[in-house]
């Protein structure tokens, strides 16, 4: 596959996948999930690779789905259909994206997300599919579309935080910085920006010295414990609810506002703390 939205490199047993749309804070396009999965599977096939590091070009990890493409553009599109909508069509598209992101989870090799700037909305979905997440202290992570127009399809919040921690994040849509994310148990570590590269490199190098078979067995055993808790079923429900949330009365309002005033203003209104779409939510 010729990559348009990512880059791929291998050095000293470590494959580095970089989300590469820095001008859009590495926002997700329709092509990015497929390219990400292809790159992960490429690393899986490479016997020289022991560890995969996922990062973002420029000043952010990933700002979520590109709302300029999915919300601001007038009319139906990848993120919304004309009403009445067909939930099976929506589910098929988002379920494929979920499986693409989960290539990071399925990989027999350890995956590390290196987060600077933002890992928000769909960007947090991607980061939390990795085995380990290391953040800069001033980076921010969260899922604001939980307020309206989204449900985290990978559902990794509950498996990392437990029910109360997941509710704290998803019933508010708040963003938290690196130290708070570490305190919550959401990420492995939070370090100053200038130490982030070195911290991730040291972690990757430590794992890279372990035989591939040992890494694969330990990861498979741990992942199996999570999957026995019902991960696949939860992800199906979350992916279905994601489509519902974009076609509810409030979801339609958000899309209309994005078309009218631009997605940045629509997001600011959604996240302000004021009642969302009061004219349709009574």
Delimit the domains of the chain by residue range. Answer: 6-270
Please state the rounded mean pLDDT for residues 7-17: 98
pLDDT at residue number 281: 53
Q: How confident is the model at residue 75 (pLDDT cuts 50, 70, 90)?
A: confident
Q: What is the 8-class DSSP label of residue 275?
A: P
Give the model confidence (pLDDT) of 177-204 as tens digits. 999 999 999 999 999 999 999 999 999 9
Which tokens go with 43? 């690393």
Q: Cα torsion for 155, 129, 115, 202, to the nearest 10°?
A: 140
Least confident of 49-58, 74-83, 109-118, 218-227: 74-83
Q: How confident is the model at residue 269 (pLDDT cuts 50, 70, 90)?
A: very high
Q: What percentage of the chain carries pLDDT values higher than 90?
A: 91
Could you count the other beta carbons within 10 Å of the beta carbon of residue 240?
18
pLDDT at residue number 282: 52
- Fold adopted by 6-270: 2-enoyl-CoA Hydratase; Chain A, domain 1 (3.90.226)
Q: How confident is the model at residue 142 (pLDDT cuts 50, 70, 90)?
A: very high
pLDDT at residue number 277: 85
Please state the rounded mean pLDDT for residues 169-174: 98
Please state the rounded mean pLDDT for residues 231-237: 97
pLDDT at residue number 162: 96
- Supply the mean pLDDT for the chain: 95
Q: CA 180, CA 168: separation in Å to the nearest integer?
A: 12
Judge whether 244 and 220 are in contact, CB under 8 Å.
no
Give the model confidence (pLDDT) of 22-72 as tens digits. 999 999 999 999 999 999 999 999 999 999 999 999 999 999 999 998 888
- The packing angle between helices 32-45 and 87-101, to 10°, is 40
Q: Where are the alpha helices (DSSP H) in the chain?
A: 32-45, 67, 87-101, 103-106, 122-129, 156-170, 178-184, 193-208, 212-227, 231-247, 249-261, 263-270
pLDDT at residue number 10: 98
CA torsion through residues 123, 128, 129, 132, sign: positive
pLDDT at residue number 78: 76
pLDDT at residue number 279: 66
């Amino acid at each position: 596959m010729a990559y348009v939205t990512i880059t791929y490199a291998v050095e000293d047993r470590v494959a580095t996948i970089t989300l590469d749309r820095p001008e859009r804070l590495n926002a997700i396009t329709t092509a990015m999930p497929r390219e990400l999965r292809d790159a992960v599977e490429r690393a899986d096939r490479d016997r020289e690779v022991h560890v995969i590091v996922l990062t973002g070009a420029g000043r952010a990890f990933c700002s979520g789905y590109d709302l300029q493409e999915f919300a601001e553009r007038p009319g139906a599109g990848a993120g919304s259909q004309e009403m009445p909508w067909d939930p099976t069509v929506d589910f098929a598209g988002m379920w494929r994206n979920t499986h693409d992101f989960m290539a990071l989870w399925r990989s027999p090799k350890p995956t590390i997300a290196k987060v600077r700037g933002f890992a928000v909305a769909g960007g947090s979905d991607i980061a939390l599919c990795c085995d380990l997440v290391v953040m800069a202290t001033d980076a921010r992570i969260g899922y604001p579309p939980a307020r309206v127009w989204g449900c985290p399809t990978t559902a990794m919040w509950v498996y990392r935080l437990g029910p109360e921690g997941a509710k704290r994040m998803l019933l508010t849509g708040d963003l938290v910085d690196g130290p708070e994310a570490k305190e919550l148990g959401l990420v492995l570590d939070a370090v100053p920006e200038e130490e982030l590269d070195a911290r991730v490199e040291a972690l990757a190098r430590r794992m890279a010295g372990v035989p591939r078979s040992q890494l694969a067995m330990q990861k498979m055993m741990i992942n199996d414990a999570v999957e026995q808790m019902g991960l696949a079923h939860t992800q199906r429900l979350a992916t279905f609810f994601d489509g519902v949330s974009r076609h509810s009365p409030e979801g339609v309002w958000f899309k209309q506002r994005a078309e009218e005033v631009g997605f940045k203003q629509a997001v600011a209104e959604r996240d302000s703390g004021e009642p969302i779409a009061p004219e349709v939510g009574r």
